[in-house]
Amino acid sequence: MEAVIPRPSSAPSPGVSHRDMANSIRALAMDAVEKANSGHPGMPMGMADVATVLFGRFLKFDPLHPHWPDRDRFVLSAGHGSMLLYALLYLTGYEEMTLDEIKRFRQLGSRTAGHPEYGHADGIETTTGPLGQGLANSVGMAIAERIMAARFGADLVDHRTYVIAGDGCLMEGISHEAISLAGHLKLNKLIVLFDDNHISIDGPTSLAVSDDQLARFRAAGWAAEAVDGQDAEAVAAALGRAQSADRPSLIACRTTIGYGAPKKAGTAAAHGSPLGAEEIAGARAKLGWPYPPFVVPDPILAAWRAIGQRGQPAFEAWQKRHAAHAERAEFDRRIDGDLLAAADLAINAVKKSVSAEAPKLATRQSSLKVIEALAPVLPELVGGSADLTGSNNTKAKDMVPVTSQNYGGTYIYYGVREHGMAAAMNGLALHGGIIPYGGTFLIFTDYCRPAIRLSALMGQRVIYVMTHDSIGQGEDGPTHQPIEHLAALRAMPNLLVFRPADTVETAECWQLALANRKGPSILALTRQALPTLRTQHTDANLCARGAYLLAPAEGKQRVTLIATGSEVSIAVEARAKLQAEGIGAAVVSLPCWQLFDRQPIAYREGVLGADGVRIAIEAAGPFGWERYIGADGGFVGMSGFGASAPGPDLYKHFGITADAAVAAVKERL
Ligand SMILES: Cc1ncc(C[n+]2csc(CCOP(=O)(O)OP(=O)(O)O)c2C)c(N)n1
Ligand SMILES: [Mg+2]
């Protein structure tokens, strides 16, 4: 049983040194890794001094109020060093992070997973592990802070984002996109502590990299300096300077990986395996930490708990300001992520007018119509594009850009940084108060995929507006024409992939993406114009069940044509041809596989037609379609890469036509 710790309200207990505090992190890390017989002791042992200074003297946090919106964010981008974070959360008194959890490091169902996982415990601000992602998330968090501060003022929003990143994070390409964007936007409340230990898994970093990181960050518009990361006062002084910088700050902390381990310190051997009994005994002696495994003596723990209480007055003062704030309700609504009813009204108004007017529009334009309708009633919607604003149609006319001069906008020019954009959107969503959406071409989901996967894993409401979704984009050719992307995205758990067929469906899919609070959504949209197929208005969202009968068969149903997006109108055309020959054919629009697969079997069978011929039409690869059409169904789509030519020519060339669908039916009747 843990001793009950009295909670002193002042500074750390006299007699407890910085070294004791840092050593408690080191010991917990090496002991937990040893017990789990797996994990990464080196990074926490090397960065223990830096983390002690950060948490002890700078970080604004309150373990009793871990969701306090104005807390500083701490992101452990070097997620393999998870024990550093778990140790800090335990030591400073986060209720959920008990000593038992530390002892259950890396075990099934524990809060202390191998890498920090968002949602497993309070104080874990984002899921990290894929190197570089945390750093890029932090840029989104820092942008969110500025946007929210511009809107609600410093009384409610005035916090910093701190990151610990390692050599690996800085070697990853995504780091470049992230630091470049942060420098451009002058995110001066973003502070990165670089674990400059010159070691990664393969050995000394000199094997693979010779970047001058300080020069690199400075070139991107950052303040950058190097300190001895084992010298608490030097780290504190650098953090002090970073507090008042007019730009984001990098502090390269020269550390020794596995600090204290007699033989393994400073080597890759300390990176990712248990140190072993002998080395741990040696480390205990060298560090002056004579206590048994998992024991942090009461005075030292009390000193840490005092640090955990340091933020209480700031929290209470914030609570008072919040209680008195005129816009408290709106602030809380945004932080809670609740939608206004006006959003649904706006969606329905779009549906109603377009079903009456029946315009011929590319769904990327349909999406802009929806964004135009939503922007005035959903101010927390923050859009953007990776340099394809005019192509993705992501910017509503009145949206003001977020710039270093004015953070009060709702549109972010992400530049040609798809991966950085996607990861920043995760940070925007995680921060709270913002619903991010961002655009690029669907083909470049490949450039975003690691971050999309984390949106899904973390259950974050991020909306990806991905246009030019097939060979229909035309002349740009096969490098720009998605083939396997829909299948690859559909394979990802907890991601809704929408491919709407017209403006009405686009509005419905937007509505569903906004309502999808526990996961990301992809809107796959066309470059080319499509007819309006839904000309009968209903407030009901027909896309909500994933698929529905768009056009029933006349007479006995012998054929079901199942299509998504731009191919639904081809299915409608094929149906007309079949009906003209007396063959009863129904058209099913299937904008979202994931939602359809959640429906009861009776609904699914009812929609797809229990017997008869099933033909799927989608201008993409066939992977996965067998689940709907069975082994004997027909697939009209792509079997290889596309080509460069006008879109309509490509549809003919690759045989994605109503005639091809009719032929596929006849082969099977
Ligand atoms: C994207 C990605 N690639 C590879 C890995 C596997 N990996 C984990 S840690 C690591 C080395 C990281 O080196 P560094 O950041 O210097 O960590 P240190 O050894 O100093 O703790 C690698 C390659 C990963 N987690 N993420
Ligand atoms: Mg390293």
Query: Each residue of 513-555: pLDDT tens digit?
Result: 999 999 999 999 999 999 999 999 999 999 999 999 999 999 9
Residue 9 has pLDDT above 70, yes or no: no
Does residue 650 carry a pLDDT above 80? yes
Mean pLDDT for the chain overall: 97
Q: Kindly give the number of the ligand 1 atom that is closest to the alpha carbon of 78.
A: 15
Share of the chain above pLDDT 70, in %: 98
**DSSP state string for 197-260:** -SEETTEEGGGT----HHHHHHHTT-EEEEEETT-HHHHHHHHHHHHT-SS-EEEEEE--TTTT
- How many helices (H) does the chain have, and how many strands (E)? 26, 20
Q: From the alpha carbon of 40, which atom of ligand 1 is closest?
A: 21
pLDDT of 4 higher than 60: no
Residue where the block lists tokens 């674990």: 195
Residues in the chain: 669
Helix 232-243 and helix 42-53, axial crossing angle in degrees, nearest 10: 60
Site to probe by mutation for ligand 1, drawn from 47, 50, 77, 80 as the one with most ligand atoms within 8 Å of Cβ, is 80
Residue nearest to atom 25 of ligand 1 (CA): 130
> Which residue's alpha carbon is nearest to atom 12 within ligand 1?
168
Q: What are the pocket residues of ligand 1 if the criterion is a CB atom closer than 6 Å to any ligand atom?
A: 42-43, 78, 80-81, 129-131, 166-169, 172, 195, 197, 199-201, 257, 271
Ion ligand 2 residues within 5 Å by Cβ: 166-167, 197, 199-200
pLDDT, mean of residues 220-233: 98
Q: What's the DSSP call for residue 378?
A: -
Grade residue 15 by pLDDT with cuts at 50, 70 and 90.
Answer: confident
In this structure, the number of other CB atoms found within 10 A of the CB of residue 387 comes to 17
pLDDT at position 13 over 80: no
With a cut of 60, say whether residue 1 has pLDDT above it. Answer: no
Per-residue confidence (pLDDT) for residue 194, from 0 to 100: 99
How much is the pLDDT for 611?
82
Q: Which ligand is nearest to the CA of 423?
A: 1
Is pLDDT of 7 > 70? no
C-alpha 327 – ligand 2 centre gap (Å): 45
Q: What's the CA-to-centroid distance between 199 and ligand 2, angstroms?
A: 4
Q: Which ligand is nearest to the CA of 79?
A: 1
Task: From 76, 53, 61, select the one nearest 239 (Cα to Cα).
Answer: 53
Ligand 1 centre to CA of 82 (Å) is 12
* CA-81 nearest atom, ligand 1: 21
pLDDT tens sequence across 57-69: 999 999 999 999 9
pLDDT band at 10 (very low <50, low <70, confident <90, very high): very low
Distance 196 CA to ligand 2 centre (A): 6
Residue 257 alpha carbon, nearest atom of ligand 1? 20
Phi, psi dihedrals of residue 317, rounded to the nearest 5° = -65, -40
- What is the number of the ligand closest to the CA of 41? 1
Q: Which 3 state secondary structure label does DSSP give 572?
A: helix
**Residue having the nearest C-alpha atom to atom 13 of ligand 1:** 200
Q: Look-up: residue for tokens 């063959």?
A: 583
Residue 177 CA to ligand 2 center (angstroms) comes to: 20
Counting from 1 in the atom list of ligand 1, the atom nearest the Cα of 79 is: 25
Mutate to test the pocket of ligand 1, among 50, 115, 174, 201 (most ligand atoms within 8 A of CB): 201
Question: Residue 3 has what pLDDT?
Answer: 38
Integer Cα distance of 186 and 222 in angstroms: 8
- Give the model confidence (pLDDT) of 455-471 as tens digits: 999 999 999 999 999 99
> Ligand 1 centre and the CA of 126: distance in Å?
17
Question: What is the CA(255)–ligand 2 centre distance, in A?
Answer: 9
Between CA 399 and CA 352 the distance in angstroms is 24
pLDDT tens sequence across 397-449: 999 999 999 999 999 999 999 999 999 999 999 999 999 999 999 999 999 99
Q: What average pLDDT does range 358-385 have in this prediction?
A: 98
Average pLDDT for residues 658-665, to the nearest whole number? 98
CA of residue 215 to ligand 2 center, whole Å:
18
**Which residue from 200, 273, 449 has its CB within 8 A of the most atoms of ligand 1, so it is best to mutate?**
200
| Nearest CA owner, ligand 1 atom 18 | 200
CA 444 – CA 440 distance, rounded (Å): 7
From the list 418, 508, 573, 618, the catalytic residue is 418
Confirm whether 418 is a catalytic residue.
Answer: yes
Separation CA 92–CA 94 (nearest Å): 6
Give CA torsion, residues 95, 100, 104, 109, to 10 deg: -50
Whether the Cβ atoms of residue 434 and residue 146 lie closer than 8 Å to each other: no
Q: Which atom of ligand 1 is nearest to the CA of 195?
A: 20
Nearest to 162 by CA among 222, 48, 248, 84: 248
Q: Summarize pLDDT for 345-363 with one digit per residue, the tens.
A: 999 999 999 999 999 999 9
Encode pLDDT of 275-331 as tens digits.
999 999 999 999 999 999 999 999 999 999 999 999 999 999 999 999 999 999 999
Q: Report the alpha-carbon distance of residue 548 to residue 608 in Å, rounded.
A: 9
Distance CA 650, CA 472 (A): 7
pLDDT of residue 610: 77
